[in-house]
Amino acid sequence: MGQLIKHETSGLVADMDQQQYLTFNLGGEVFAIGILAIKEIIEYGNLTEVPMMPDFIRGVINLRGAVVPVVDLAARFGRKGSTVTRRTCIVIIEMEANGERQDVGVIVDAVNEVLEILHQDIEPAPTFGAKIRTDFINGMGKVNGKFVILLNVNRVLSVDEMAALAQVDGGTAEYAAG
**Residue 166 confidence class, pLDDT cut points 50, 70, 90:** low
**In sequence order, what are the residues at sequence separation of 6 or more whose Cβ sits closer than 8 angstroms to the Cβ of residue 70?**
47, 57, 58, 59, 60, 61, 90, 104, 105, 106, 107
Burial 76-87 (b: 16+ CB within 10 A, else e): bbeeeebeeeee
Q: What's residue 17's pLDDT?
A: 57
DSSP for residue 62:
E
Architecture of the structural domain at 19-177:
Beta Barrel (2.40)
Residue 25 backbone zone (phi > 0: left; psi -120 to 50: alpha; other: beta): beta
Q: Is residue 54 within 8 Å of residue 89, measured between CB atoms? A: no
CB-CB contact of 59 with 70 (8 Å)? yes
Contact 21, 118 (CB under 8 A): no
What would the pLDDT profile of 136-150 be if each residue is shown by its tens digit?
Answer: 889 999 988 889 999
> What does the alpha-carbon distance between residue 40 and residue 105 come to, in Å, rounded to a whole number?
9
Categorize the per-residue pLDDT at 95 as very low, low, confident or very high, splitting at 50, 70 and 90.
Answer: confident
**DSSP at 22:** E
Euclidean distance between the first and the last CA atom of the chain, given in angstroms as a whole number: 75
Residue 163 per-residue DSSP state: H
DSSP string, 39-50: EEEEES---B--
**5-20 confidence digits (pLDDT tens):** 333 333 334 444 568 9
pLDDT at residue 157 in the model: 86
The model carries a pTM of: 0.78
For 37-83, write each residue's pLDDT tens digit.
Answer: 999 999 998 899 988 888 899 999 999 999 999 999 999 988 888 89
Position 22 confidence tier, pLDDT thresholds 50, 70, 90:
very high
Query: What one-letter code names the amino acid at 37?
Result: A
pLDDT for the residue numbered 165? 62
